[in-house]
Amino acid sequence: MTPETFFGLFNYWIVICLMMTGFYIVISSGNLIKTVIGLNIFQTSVFLLYITMGKLTDPVKRVTAPILEGGHGDSHGDHSAHGEHVAQVSFEEHASEQLHDAVKHAHADLSEAGHGGAEHAHEVAEVLYSNPLPSVLMLTAIVVGIATTALALALIVRIREDYGTIEEDEILELDKELQ
């Protein structure tokens, strides 16, 4: 295993360790609230896994969050031109079979910027954007997660009202006695 592979996969391994800690809390703990806490930790780790996959890195270009630069101040025409440029660049990025090609291309861009002056500055300072889709999906997942957590906690309160305890083994014993 090369160091490159190691550091490339390192994030996934960290996330898996966190996930397994949450899983351990869920299956080892007999306390119902502790179980919900374990589920929450597991959930957050899954979010981290997806977000990690959506991140884009580039040796030369600036990579930033998927919030387009240029803002509302620009005119409409500027916007679309900017958009085409970004799309074109990312297409070339994906199409290039070797990373070196991309690096050379970007270097060419940069030197062109030096000669081109202020007119080109806006276009050459283009950035790559990380993937917005994992963010969108995880936003939905977070909100659904809080809904299920609330439901689980309500059930725990209800269980406590009827059984007087939130320890799993005590609840099972009470059930046995009732039978």
Partner 1 sequence: MMEFIVIPILALLFATAITVAVIRNLWAAVMFTGIYSFLGASWMLILDAPDVAFTEAAVGAGVSTILMLATLSLVPRSSRKRGSISNSDFETKDPPRRRVISSLLVVIGTGAMLIYGTLDMPLFGSADAAIQTYPAPSFIEKSQTEMGEHGLPNVVTAVLASYRGYDTLGETAVIFTAGIAVLLILRKNKASDEIGAGQSEVTS
Residues within window 92-111 making contact with partner 1, judged by CB under 8 A:
93-94, 102
Q: Which is nearer to partner 1, 113 or 128 (CB)?
A: 128
Contact indicator for 45, 18 with CB cutoff of 8 Å: yes
Give me the least distance between CB of 149 and partner 1, in Å please. Answer: 5
Binding track, positions 26-65, relative to partner 1; x by CB under 8 A: -xxxxx-xx-xxx-xx--xx-xx--xxxxxxxx----xxx
Rounded to whole angstroms, how far apart are CA atoms 162 and 171?
A: 10
Q: How many whole angstroms separate alpha carbon 63 and alpha carbon 43?
A: 27
Question: Based on C-alpha coordinates, what's the Rg of the chain?
Answer: 25
* Chain centre to alpha carbon of residue 57: 14
Examine residue 120 and tell whether it contacts partner 1 (CB under 8 A).
Answer: no
- ∠ CA 11-14-151, nearest 5°, is 110
Q: Which residue lies nearer to partner 1 by CB, 47 or 109? A: 47
Q: Does 161 bind partner 1 (CB under 8 A)?
A: yes
Of the pair 119, 140, the CB lying nearest partner 1 is at: 140
Residue span binding partner 1 (CB under 8 A) among the ranges 106-114, 116-124, 141-149: 141-149
CB contact set of 70 (below 8 Å; sequence gap of 6+): 78, 79, 82, 122
- Please identify which residue in 111, 125, 158, 172 interacts with partner 1, judged by CB under 8 A: 158
At 167 the three-state DSSP class reads strand
**Among positions 60, 105, 113, 167, the unique one binding partner 1 when judged by CB under 8 A:** 167
